[in-house]
Structure 1
């Protein structure tokens, strides 16, 4: 049976894997400009990777913004989206936030993914808005 594992990015090689996954999903698949995909927050954020049988298949990052955990750049390679990799990314990001002593998390969800985040306890708290040419909503969750 295939194994799903998760962990924090510890070195440049792992960071490059996260960037590779994000580029595949956001730039190649969704048409986000490569100029904005890697941004000025990379160095301050904590990055996570999810592995399927040892192969990196998903990534995300978290940073503290005004006392709230902001979860960002959450993505899973297309062939692995039915394997609970997204939920594993979210669990690791929330764990980081709790270790930082934060009690609330927020994210900008692509509208098509809002149902996924809803199942994980996130609630929409904004009108729809456009980000990088893609419709989004802001979602929040209290961290227990």
Structure 2
């Protein structure tokens, strides 16, 4: 399996969109158009590719010179709970540090906030509803001491 950064012109981008739709939007009854954001082209797209197929992705949208938002993390259901999500987040963080970013924020679905907490993210602010389900705001400073996440040693 390889992790690679792509853009919206890359041949794997349609597969990334489909994975995002199948994992994040279809279960909520949304249509395919709901998965693409107006800022997709200005975002970093990190995908996990196995046997030529996109099996995971995470995106990052810069919101200032030193911070931005992680969004649309999706892992193929057959690959969930294997450490792939943690691997994607850590690889994204490494790239962001190299680019000078200092903080990542995200809107985590409430039921997966624990996953991000194991990676060093902290809840802040009040819970809210997005795409009709409970979410929490989370953030992590990239200069903080790294804690091991699932599947890491």
In structure 2, the gaps of 5 or more residues are 144-153
Q: Contact 1:18/1:60 (CA < 8 Å) preserved in 2? A: no
**C-alpha RMSD over aligned residues:** 1.7
Per the alignment, in what secondary structure is the counterpart of residue 12 of structure 1?
A: coil
The match for 1:8 is 5
Q: Contact 2:25/2:34 (CA < 8 Å) preserved in 1? A: no
Superposed CA deviations along residues 63-101 of structure 1, whole A, max 9, x for unmatched, are: 211331210101111111021111122112212321220
- For residues 107-126 of structure 1, the aligned pairs below 5 Å read 107-126=106-125
Moved runs in structure 1, 4+ residues, more than 4 A?
A: none
Between 1 and 2, higher relative CO (CA 8 Å, sep ≥ 6) is seen in: 1
CA distance in 1, matches of 2:5, 2:132: 29
The match for 2:138 is 139
The match for 1:85 is 84
- For residues 1-144 of structure 1, the aligned pairs below 5 Å read 4-9=1-6, 11-52=9-50, 54-66=52-64, 67-144=66-143
Per the alignment, in what secondary structure is the counterpart of residue 90 of structure 1?
A: helix
Give the CA deviation at 1:111: 0.3
Give the CA deviation at 1:54: 4.8
Per the alignment, in what secondary structure is the counterpart of residue 29 of structure 1?
A: helix
TM-score, reference length from structure 1: 0.88
Query: How many pairs were matched up?
Result: 141
TM-score, reference length from structure 2: 0.84
Give the CA deviation at 1:60: 1.4
CA distance in 2, matches of 1:13, 1:135: 34
Q: Contact 1:71/1:93 (CA < 8 Å) preserved in 2? A: no
Between 1:106-115 and 1:52-61, the stretch displaced more is 52-61
